[in-house]
Amino acid sequence: MKTMFSPLNSLLVAALAAGFAFACGGSGISVPRTTATGGASPSGGAGSGGGDPGGSGGAGGTTALSTGGSAGSAGSAGSGGSAGSGGSPSDASPLPVCADVLKTPAVDSCARPVGGWGNVPPGSGSTAVKLGGTITAVAKGPVTGGCLQPGSTTTGDLVALTVHADSDAGAADWDVEYLVPANNVAWKAGQHIDVAYTQSGGGWVPLVSSLTLNFGQAVDVYIGVGGRDTDLSDVPLTFRQGPAICLEHHTCGDWSGYDLEVKDAGGWVRIPYGSTSSVAGYIVIHGGMAEQLTANTACADWYVSHVRVAVLRGVNAN
């Protein structure tokens, strides 16, 4: 059956349409399309949005945060609608190459019986040492047979303490060492000290370790190493990953270096990569933080995931 429209029918349809628009606010139904997003490549493409007929235009797209792309263009107005807003621009300056800007200071630590583990094995792939004792010797720089033997390119202050344990800790005398750019804790023979050291991982997974030294109620030295800031344990301060400061394109995958942020009473304090700052009564050394940008890499035996932090209370032993 064929339906015929007369002039009267046309007037009736127009009236119904006008009434429907009035019931919906008089400007039509706003159904913006999905906002486009700029590409994640270094060039960062601009996004654009658009509105359906009778609605407001979609918002402009945004670009990737660290690629220096341009702002998204505004969505065009639909019939009876308003134009969409333009996207916000990303960081206008592309990140520098990590190899050009990262200067990583020396931060490391270790603890083991004097002369090596011998008949006191550290355990299957992990070490956990906790003891109280008296310092019998203090050395500055590598010691013969010591657990830290830095290479010729490593600079910094290496402190080696010999600690005689108060009670059975698996060995009578312990070699306790740490390496920082500049040590400001003056250890003395005869001083009582509490030592806690843990180590696990390494090789195919990130090394995770921590050394805590104190001769009072507060932590005097903390050296933390991990794959991420969340790996750090027994930390006297609260850390988190800061902004990315560089981008490295590697054949196995992309990775970035990061600043470090430390929580203070007044909020978060940003410590630039490789720098030293005073926070909450401590001297904090940012020994490096880097992480690959994707979980999957092009190389089976490759990963980038590490963080090193040193915290010194900066007091003299009495």
* Structural domain harbouring 144: 100-312
CB 195 within 8 A of CB 131: yes
Is 33 contained in some domain?
Answer: no
Instruction: Give me the number of domains the chain comprises.
Output: 1
pLDDT at 297: 83
CB 81 within 8 A of CB 55: yes
pLDDT at 93: 65
CB 94 within 8 A of CB 100: no
pLDDT at 82: 53
Is 151 contained in some domain?
Answer: yes
pLDDT at 56: 41
pLDDT at 246: 96
CB 199 within 8 A of CB 209: yes
The rounded distance, in Å, linking the Cα atoms of 146 and 112 is 9
Stretches in the chain below the pLDDT threshold 70: 1-93, 118-125, 150-154, 169, 314-318
pLDDT at 120: 53
Provide the whole-model pTM.
0.68
Is 8 contained in some domain?
Answer: no
Q: Please report, for the chain, how many H helices and E strands are present, in that order.
A: 2, 15
For residue 15, which phi and psi values (nearest 5 degrees)? -65, -45
pLDDT at 60: 40
CB 178 within 8 A of CB 287: no
Is 35 contained in some domain?
Answer: no
First to last CA, the chain: 106
- For residue 199, with 0-12 CB atoms within 10 Å meaning exposed, 13-18 middle and 19 or more buried, which class applies? buried
Is 72 contained in some domain?
Answer: no
Q: How many residues does the chain have?
A: 318
Q: Which residues lie closer than 8 Å to 249 by C-beta, 6 or more apart? A: none
Query: What DSSP character marks residue 58?
Result: P
Is 264 contained in some domain?
Answer: yes
Distances (CA, A) of 49 to 46, 71, 90, 179: 10, 12, 17, 55
Instruction: Indicate the Cα dihedral angle 187, 189, 191, 195, nearest 10°.
Output: 70
Is 57 contained in some domain?
Answer: no
Query: 152-170 burial by CB neighbour count: b if 16+ within 10 A, else e?
Result: eeeebebbbbbbebeeebe
Looking at residue 154, its amino acid is T
Is 253 contained in some domain?
Answer: yes
